[in-house]
Amino acid sequence: MKGLQSLFELFAREISIMFPPFLRTVVRVDLSSIDQLTYDEFILSVARPTALTVINMAPLEGNAVLEMSPSMVFPIVDRVLGGKGMTLSEPRELTEIENRIIQRIVMMILDSLRRSWEQLIEFRLSILQQESDPLIVQIVAGSEMVILVGYEVHIGETVGTMNFCIPLMVLNPVLDQISQQAHYSRRMSPDVAKMTRQAITDIVTRAEIPVEAILGRARLSIHDIAHLQKGDLIQLNTSPHEPLEVDVGGLPRYLAQPGRRREQTVLQILALTRD
């Protein structure tokens, strides 16, 4: 279950990245639950009508069900058709045009699923059928155990739910791999890792950080500071013959000797003071 949680959290992040440009609004997908139950328990928990899509999980043997609540579906349809993402007060079945829109949305969701699992398996996912009544969708026997993954989907100011139901028998061939951190952690290829390191190095080497030469320090009482006048002298705790402390990013780093180079004041680094 821990390995599955990692994969399905990555799936949620992929959807959260994919949806906003398409729907032109802020979208956040949160993983809310991962449960193990029977297929009958899942079907009986789904409200009617709803948007159900049966998905072939090739190369794994078997199918899964993606269920999107009306409170998720209709704001998406409304935004795609130019609206503000309003939901309906009374849920109803989708029209033919709305079904085509949702089919497009499901294909985008499946693309996100492929990307989030690509380090584990190369899915060839496809849509088999779309239904509104859960009682006529039977992908396994009612007593078969399934993994039910629940999401809370925030689309603009509306909140809906999405459930992904996968029979345990479908996942059996990859369960051992999922349980290993090395497989469900998202790893980069050597070429991508090299490019990433180079990009980080370029950014770090161009970063600017303050370098300050400290001529000396003094401690004064509040009374003395309040009575300072123009022309007053403040005794520093350093000698003109001692090296100056050079702070980098607020931390003492070097000892240096002040001097002049043509028309500029310069410092000559004498020693490193901090490893």
CATH of the domain at 242: 2.30.330.10
Tell me, yes or no, whether 200 lies in a domain.
Answer: no
Distance of CA 166 to the CA centre of its chain: 23
- Give pLDDT tens digits along the chain (275 positions): 778 888 999 999 999 999 998 898 889 999 999 999 999 999 999 988 999 999 999 999 999 999 999 999 999 999 998 888 888 888 888 999 999 999 999 999 999 999 999 888 899 999 999 999 999 999 999 999 999 999 999 998 899 999 999 999 999 888 888 776 444 355 556 777 787 788 888 888 888 888 999 888 899 999 999 999 999 999 988 888 889 999 988 888 999 998 888 888 898 999 998 65
Verify that 252 and 117 share a domain, yes or no. Answer: no
Maximum C-alpha span of the chain: 93
What is the DSSP code (8-state) at residue 2? Answer: H
Verify that 91 and 214 share a domain, yes or no. Answer: no
Verify that 95 and 152 share a domain, yes or no. Answer: yes
pTM for the whole structure? 0.63
- CB within 8 A of 132, min separation 6: which ones? 48, 49, 50, 51, 52, 93, 94
Strand, helix or coil at 274? coil
Verify that 176 and 243 share a domain, yes or no. Answer: no
